[in-house]
Amino acid sequence: MSDSLFPHASPGGQRGATRAGALALAAAALAGTALATHSVSSVGRPVVQAPNCAPTSPKSGSWAPDDPDGCWERQGDRQYFRTTWGNHYYYHWEPPMTSRYHGSGGVGG
């Protein structure tokens, strides 16, 4: 008789639960629980769309306020997501992870 709950597999027949099988089962259960928890926690949260940027007119000596959440800016026929940090504009295809609008959609919302 073996002292462990899941004995090592012996050559030949692989009957019963092996450690690998038990680990795979435990991993699948944990992944399912994590997915269900994420789905339930995101159900009540409304999807907030980022606003369109106000027109900017660079003025000499003026300082652009920091805007880590960002907004959508149209340049020609394309839309870009713009954030501002340290008086510099940064352009993205979609809201970055640092924005509260992250996950609300890319390329124009």
pLDDT digits (tens, 9 = 90+) for 16-38: 567 777 777 777 777 666 665 55
Q: Does 64 fall in a domain?
A: yes
> Closest Cα to residue 21, out of 3, 8, 32?
8
Q: Does 36 fall in a domain?
A: yes
For the chain, the domain total comes to: 2
| Prediction pTM value | 0.49
Say if CB 60 and CB 67 are below 8 A apart: no
CA dihedral in degrees (16, 21, 27, 33; nearest 10)?
Answer: -30
Q: Does 72 fall in a domain?
A: yes
Report which listed range, 32-36, 41-45, 59-63, 76-80, is most confident: 76-80
* 83 burial via Cβ count (<10 Å: 0-12, 13-18, 19+): buried
Report which listed range, 2-11, 20-29, 62-71, is most confident: 62-71
**Rounded distance between C-alpha atoms, residue 69 and residue 75, angstroms:** 19
pLDDT at residue 92, as a whole number: 92
- Residue range of the domain that includes 54: 50-109
Per-residue pLDDT at 66 exceeds 80: yes
